[in-house]
Amino acid sequence: MDMLILKKDAVNEFLASLSGRYTVWAPVQKDSDTVFEPFGAGQHNVLDLTHQAKIIKHAIFPQTEQLFSFDQNDQIQEAIPGDREQNILFGIRPCDARSFALLDSVFAGDIPDPYYLVRRDTTILIGVACTEPFANCFCTSVGGNPCGRDGLDLLCTDLGDRYLVAVFSEKGTELVNKTASLFTKPSAEDMKQGQELSHRAERAVKRHIDLSGITDTLARIFEHPVWKKITLKCIGCGICTYTCPTCYCFDIQDESMAQKRGRRVRVWDSCMYKEYTLHASGHNPRPTRVERLRNRIYHKFKFHVDTYGVFGCVGCGRCITLCPVNEDLVENLIAVKGAA
């Protein structure tokens, strides 16, 4: 693993120099929000690496994606993205990088998804360590770390006027080599400061829950009244799913186009919606928010563990921060554990 220094005043030059060869996504200020948008020369974007940004999942798993088009003569044209559509995701958090590692196991499973995998293979992930974890972060409770490396090609740790850059992959090495003039070697003091910040960040995570044995607990309490209790506030808006970096529920729809053509699209969906499991017969196995919230927790903390061996949650805390009625996943999990 190589370690380098990148001056903060060289970051814009670094991103601009890459924007001609890649679509560079970076967290920028937009009104009162921090969102990921394409960043490049000639654009007036203001980087924001301080606040928690909205998820960047859509760069690899678009919210609406055309799978193929067709006409009345049954001529089908697939829309799998080409390998020239290369992305750099700059400024993502370690939890978001880890979310892609979880999505990889889903979309590269028994039936590989070419739409996701092509984008994933041509995307470089550059993270920024959470040296000051956000208020609702609980990544250390689900196997993560605010300065973790899972899924990342590069990781930048803020040392004040410069970043300590760790290179983890061949993709990362190639990228650094293309902009070598912007990097220098770190001093022993830089390395020491980076290690101290990493240890301090792990201790600074404010939310914690012991999830040992949670899958066994869930196996025993499917019909427990605790599910009604923790669902009382939920209004079923689905924001927890749309702001989650690891949710991958989708719907497939056919849409009419001009000149007697149509297209099939994949769109994000939410298991928190009544229509998600509504059968054509009118039967719904999850008729109320109780069953739907229960299923969401089971998926993250039992079904995903049973299938892939890890929790389906990276502990970013967005679902807690953005819930309009203050549903709190950590508090709900504590209640679930107490019901055993």
Q: Encode pLDDT of 69-92 as tens digits.
A: 998 887 888 877 776 678 999 999
Co-location of 259 and 165 in the same domain:
no
> What's the confidence (pLDDT) of residue 40?
67
User: Pairing mode, if any, of strands 87-92 and 123-128?
Assistant: parallel
* The domain boundary residue, chosen from 170, 204, 238: 204
Task: Give how far Cα 331 sits from Cα of 65, 105, 227, 319, 327, Å.
Answer: 35, 28, 13, 12, 8
Do residues 45 and 39 touch, judged by C-beta distance below 8 A? yes
**Which DSSP letter does residue 47 get?**
B
Least confident interval from 41-45, 154-158, 283-287: 41-45
Q: Which parts of the chain are beta strand (E)? A: 2-7, 23-30, 33-38, 64-71, 76-78, 87-92, 123-128, 154-158, 162-167, 183-184, 250-257, 261-268
For 189-212, what is each residue's pLDDT tens digit?
Answer: 999 999 999 999 999 999 999 999
Q: How confident is the model at residue 11 (pLDDT cuts 50, 70, 90)?
A: very high
- Among 282, 297, 203, 186, residue whose Cα is nearest residue 241: 297
Between 271 and 29, residue with greater pLDDT: 271
- Pair (225, 283) in one structural domain: yes
| Number of helices and strands in the chain (H, E) | 12, 12
Same domain, 84 and 135: yes
**Angle in degrees, CA 109, 111, 169, rounded to 5:** 45
Task: List the single range of 20-34, 41-55, 115-129, 208-222 with lowest mean pLDDT.
Answer: 41-55
Do residues 88 and 126 both lie within one domain? yes
Same domain, 185 and 260: no
Cβ atoms of 28 and 48 closer than 8 Å: yes
CB-CB neighbours of 255 under 10 Å: 12
Say what the pLDDT of residue 41 is: 53
pLDDT attached to residue 46: 75
Q: Which of 144, 124, 148, 91 is nearest to 23 (CA)?
A: 124
C-beta atoms surrounding 55 within 10 Å? 21
85 inside domain: yes
Low-confidence winner among 69-78, 172-181, 273-282 (lowest mean pLDDT): 69-78
246 and 312 part of one domain: yes
pLDDT digits (tens, 9 = 90+) for 295-323: 999 999 999 999 999 999 999 999 999 99
Residue 19 domain boundaries: 2-204
For residues 221 and 145, state if they share a domain.
Answer: no
Partner residues linked to 64 by β-bridges = 267
**How far apart are the C-alpha atoms of 12 and 86, rounded to whole Å?**
19
b/e sequence 159-182, b meaning 16+ C-beta within 10 Å: beebbbbbbbbebbeebbeeeeeb
Neighbours of 33 (CB within 10 A): 12
Q: Same domain for 150 and 273?
A: no
Check whether residue 61 and residue 96 sit in a common domain. yes
